Amino acid sequence: MSAASGYSKVQTETTGEKSSFSLDTTLVLFFLALESGRTFSRMSLDNILLLATLLTIIVLPYFLVPGEKPNFSTWVFGRSLIASFAMLLGMMFQKSIGVVLPEIFKFVPMTLLILTAMLSCYIQFYGFLKLRLVK
């Protein structure tokens, strides 16, 4: 454990910046919950898998945060609030399709989810593969 904290300290000193790791995973969480809320009315296997993925995205990034970690319960509570709000927005979005918005807009949450997931993967791989100078 001390080796991991030592690594994150060296990483912060070497790069000269604090990591904003949870921003990209929070965006993925938001759009995943938005899509989950949009498809919430029908319960099928794909929705069960979507909810399992949502729970994983809520909890898993806590264990990947470098450096000093916040309290686990506050971390999960905050991310659960974001997911709940996005699911509520997704449900409202589904009700507005065909009434306020054209039918083609029903694909927007999944499109934004795919784009943010690709961006998040790029940011994570860049952080893993970035060359760090040794002092």
Rounded Cα distance, 118 and 27, in Å: 11
Distances (CA, A) of 25 to 14, 99, 101, 115: 24, 32, 28, 12
Rounded Cα distance, 16 and 132, in Å: 11
Helix axis angle for 21-38 and 108-129, nearest 10°, is 160
- Please, what is the average pLDDT of the chain? 81
Query: Region 75-104: what's the mean pLDDT?
Result: 93
Which residues are CB-neighbours of 117 under 8 A, at least 6 positions away? Answer: 28
Contact 124, 49 (CB under 8 A): no
End-to-end Cα distance, the chain:
23
Rounded Cα distance, 64 and 22, in Å: 9
Percent of the chain with pLDDT over 90: 47
User: What does the pLDDT read at residue 112?
Assistant: 92
pTM reported for the whole predicted model: 0.75
User: What does the pLDDT read at residue 16?
Assistant: 43
pLDDT in tens, 8-26: 443 444 344 455 557 888 8
